[in-house]
Amino acid sequence: MTRVQTGGRWFRAQGPGFAVALLISVIAGGTVGYKWIEGWSAWDAFYMTVITVTTVGYQEVHSLSRTGQAFTVCLIFGGVGSALYTFTLLATVVVEGGLPKRLQRRRDQRMLDTIKDHFIICGYGRIGSIVARQFQRQKIAYVVVERDPERVQQAVDDGAIAVEADASREDVLKRVGVARARGLIAAVGTDAENVYAVLTARVLRPDLFIIGRAETEDATIKLKRAGADRVISPYQIGAVQIAQTALRPAVVDFMTLATSSDNLDLAMEEITVGATSRLANQSILNANLRQRYGVIVVGIQREDLRMEFNPEPDTAIHGGDKLVVLGRPDSLKQLEAEAAQ
């Protein structure tokens, strides 16, 4: 359907489909009319209708009666206008990019049907767009759900798969593959919308990792009750960052360097140890991570979410633990591959 801002339902229906249907109706009506008035065969009646509607100007298939001539005049007035309208509209669709957009939507739908292990970003405002850029730099699959058409178009222009819809609706989350998703980030414009989005996602996927954005302390509590695993307040984090930069600029510079996706020399990563991994049930010292990979174990998050910072060399590593390590990106990838085996 062609979206036109100036009309109601009837005017919005005047898209390519309607135009083609109108032209087919005119040709069918002309064919039936010539058969009934002149008694011609179906092919002769169809051929006469086509050359009349398209104003080709060939001679008449057979001599016309007075009634047939009157019918031809009516067909010219009605059919030529319909044909010009249809051809003009189809040409406009192609020239103005309507066809490529339709093909793009079909490609996006195919990708939505197959995408997995991705993040669902609800909202493409200031926060959502920054999150999307970070995922894009690190080649993490994601889908954007946004209600504002302009923001949806901006997301598409930025290279994202974007859906214009309400992120708090169950059918929408199912459409963007919540059953196969790695996580969901609720970064819509208001706290109330984020609460609804988190609640809906939690009902659909009790095991889904969900992050919610909050502007107030009250919203933080409600988001956690709705089912968010983590709640982030950009204003609070920004204020803390400013204070830490004023008091400990070197520490902030180091953390920024370690967590930046643009840094090629040093990175801090979270690596999950598989239950059957060779690292499981070994101590940090016996695993020999420093010598083999040149990484530093900053912390270990246990399965019960308890975090052990700066663990001792004899600290045991168990299956299901998450190692917070610091090192070169290529070394971290090698360690991640061994930890998953």
SS (H, E, C) 62-74: CCCCHHHHHHHHH
Same domain as 188, residue 279: no
Same domain as 233, residue 129: yes
Same domain as 184, residue 137: yes
Same domain as 164, residue 87: no
Question: 242 in a domain, yes or no?
Answer: no
- CATH number of the domain enclosing 325: 3.30.70.1450
Question: 257 in a domain, yes or no?
Answer: no
Contact at 8 Å (CB) between 186 and 120?
Answer: no
Same domain as 223, residue 145: yes
Pairing mode of beta strands 183-186, 119-122: parallel
Question: 111 in a domain, yes or no?
Answer: no
Question: Please, where are the H alpha helices in 208-305?
Answer: 217-226, 234-247, 249-259, 284-287, 289-293
Question: 104 in a domain, yes or no?
Answer: no
SS (H, E, C) 32-95: HHHHHHHCCCHHHHHHHHHHHHCCCCCCCCCCCCHHHHHHHHHHHHHHHHHHHHHHHHHHHHHH
pTM: 0.62
What pLDDT was estimated at residue 14? 58
Same domain as 217, residue 141: yes
Question: 254 in a domain, yes or no?
Answer: no
Same domain as 127, residue 227: yes
Q: How far apart are CA 195 and CA 220, in angstroms?
A: 9
Q: What is the DSSP string of 98-136?
A: HHHHHHHHHHHHHHHHH--S-EEEE--SHHHHHHHHHHH
Question: What range does the domain containing 130 cover?
Answer: 116-237
Give the total number of structural domains in the chain: 3
pLDDT in tens, the chain (341 residues): 333 333 444 434 456 677 778 778 888 888 888 888 888 888 888 888 888 777 776 777 777 878 877 887 888 787 777 777 777 777 776 666 555 666 667 777 788 888 889 999 999 999 999 999 989 988 899 999 999 999 998 998 898 889 999 999 999 999 999 999 999 999 998 899 999 999 999 999 999 999 999 988 899 999 999 999 999 988 888 888 889 889 888 888 877 777 766 655 677 888 899 888 888 888 888 888 888 888 888 899 988 888 888 898 889 999 889 999 988 888 888 888 888 87
Same domain as 127, residue 226: yes
- CATH number of the domain enclosing 130: 3.40.50.720
What pLDDT was estimated at residue 251? 80
Question: 255 in a domain, yes or no?
Answer: no
Question: 1 in a domain, yes or no?
Answer: no
Same domain as 229, residue 136: yes
Q: Kindly tell me the burial class for residue 211, based on how many C-beta atoms sit within 10 Å of its own C-beta (0-12, 13-18, 19 or more).
A: buried
What pLDDT was estimated at residue 199? 94
